[in-house]
């Protein structure tokens, strides 16, 4: 199984979101996943290596806002999770 995250800005272009009142922080996480056939595993070797070396790169891909601000419980925060299987 392969998994990738869609950058937040690209996802927002494809699926606009309007919330009232306006949140202080909006984090939208959308994943695409699909089966990888055994004969295709070699083409995924660089992705596997990247995932093993640096798990935190995913927050950069998604475009997560300032993590300190994310922890501020006084702010109105919205977190959206979604995904789609690619066949």
pLDDT tens, position by position, 14-29: 999 999 999 998 888 8
Place of tokens 């891909």: 61
Q: How many domains does the chain have?
A: 1
Read off φ and ψ for residue 15, nearest 5 degrees: -140, 80
Mean pLDDT across the chain, nearest whole number? Answer: 82
Beta strand residue intervals within 8-75, DSSP E: 25-34
Q: What is the mean pLDDT of residues 38-44?
A: 76
Domain that holds residue 80: 2-85
Answer with the residue of higher pLDDT: 77 or 43: 77
CA 29 from centre of chain: 4
By the 8 A CB rule, do 5 and 62 touch? yes
Q: What is the mean pLDDT of residues 72-85?
A: 90
């Amino acid at each position: 199984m392969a998994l990738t995250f869609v950058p937040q800005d690209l996802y927002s272009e494809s699926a606009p979101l309007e919330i009232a009142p306006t949140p202080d922080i909006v984090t939208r996480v959308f994943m695409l996943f699909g089966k990888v056939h055994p004969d295709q595993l070699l083409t995924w070797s660089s992705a596997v290596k990247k995932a093993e070396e640096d798990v935190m790169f995913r927050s950069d891909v998604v475009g997560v806002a300032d993590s300190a601000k994310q922890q501020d419980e006084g702010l109105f925060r919205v977190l959206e999770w979604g995904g789609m299987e690619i066949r």
